[in-house]
Structure formats: structure tokens, C-alpha cells
Chains A and B, each alone.
Chain A
Amino acid sequence: MAKTIKWEKDFDRVLILARTENKMILLDFFNPL
């Protein structure tokens, strides 16, 4: 099964993850239509 991106939804959680994992953040604004 193909791997997919595990998108986060909570910005505060993303900041914590980025600090603990020493990574940058990819913030995607999308329009579902």
C-alpha cells in the first residue's frame, strides 16, 4: 500500500512536534472545491 502524507490539523501540536523532532513545518492552505 502506498504511503501517504500524515497531515496534522492542530498548529500548536505541530510547533511542539517541530521542536522535538528538529524539523521545519510545511503549512498548506487548501480549498477542497
Chain B
Amino acid sequence: MGAVTYPNEKVVEFIETHLVPIQVLFDSQPLATKFNIQWTPTVITLDEEGKEHHRTVGFLSPEEFIPSLMLGVAKCHFDREKFGEAITTFEEILKNYPKSEAAPEAVYMRGVALYKSTHNAERLKEIYKRLQSEYPSSEWAKRAQPYKLL
């Protein structure tokens, strides 16, 4: 990450705009124990209270890392029921990084956020349809299978 991803101009810009970055050694205490760190790199997105919302383990290229960070930001909003902000960020992932590993999860979570803010089950069925259409081999397409029946 230090050699390839963190020096990337777009990564620097995204982090500077949206996040407060902190880097610590894998065995730095008390954080390593608090966050149960078993392998590096481990990258965690936290809210301003220090609560975890998203983590990745292992190397990610800049093209995968930025949408992963966006997913983390969106999940911070989602977990705190700020569905409008979450939906906006999920949609930015789909617009700017549609081929990333984060994209199928963004489709799923965007649909769930829409459902939770409207209580319209059609939003869940749309998750299934879109994942079947655009990301049929993804793990998230499998997770959306039950929505086919709605």
C-alpha cells in the first residue's frame, strides 16, 4: 500500500477531502487489541466517535481502494440512518467505479437504504434485478436472491 496505493494522486486527494488518516504499527497498543488486528495491511473506516463501520485486509490498488473507502464512508452514514447521504455515496461508487469490487455491494446497500427510507419493497426487488443484470456472478447477487420472490 505504501509503495503503490498511498502515493497515488487520486488516493491522496480523496483521503484529504473526506477522511482524517492515521497510520499505526500493526502491534500498536491499545489499538491493535481494540480492533483485533491479525494481519496487515488492515484498513478500517471509523466515524468521529471511533466506531468501526468498514474494514479491508490485504493490498488494494488505487482503482479498488478509493471505492472501498467510499463504501466505508457510505456505511458510516447508513449505520447512523443518514440514508440520503449514504445513497448519494453509494451512487458515486456506481457512477465512477462501476467495475470495482465495491460496486456490487454498493448496489445492494443503496437498495437497502432506499427501502429503509421508503418502506417500499419494490426497492429490494430492484436490487435483485440490477445485480442479476450487471453483477450476476458477485457474492451480492447471491445475497439478493430472496428479493426475487417479493
**Partner-B contacts on A (CB < 8 A):** 2-11, 14-15, 17-19, 21-32
Contacts and interface: CB of A to CB of B under 8 A. Distances in A.
Contacts of A22: 48
A7 B21 CA distance: 5
Given A24-B72, A30-B41, A7 B9 contact: no
Interface centre among B15, B21, B49, B73 (most CB of A within 10 A): B21
Contacts of B6: 4-5
A17 B41 CA distance: 23
Interface stretch (B22-30, B122-130, B132-140): B22-30
Contacts, number: 124
Interface of B: 1-2, 6-7, 9, 11-13, 15-16, 18-26, 28, 31-32, 35, 37, 40-50, 53, 69, 72-73, 76
A2 B47 CA distance: 28
Contact of B24 (A5, A15, A21, A28): A28
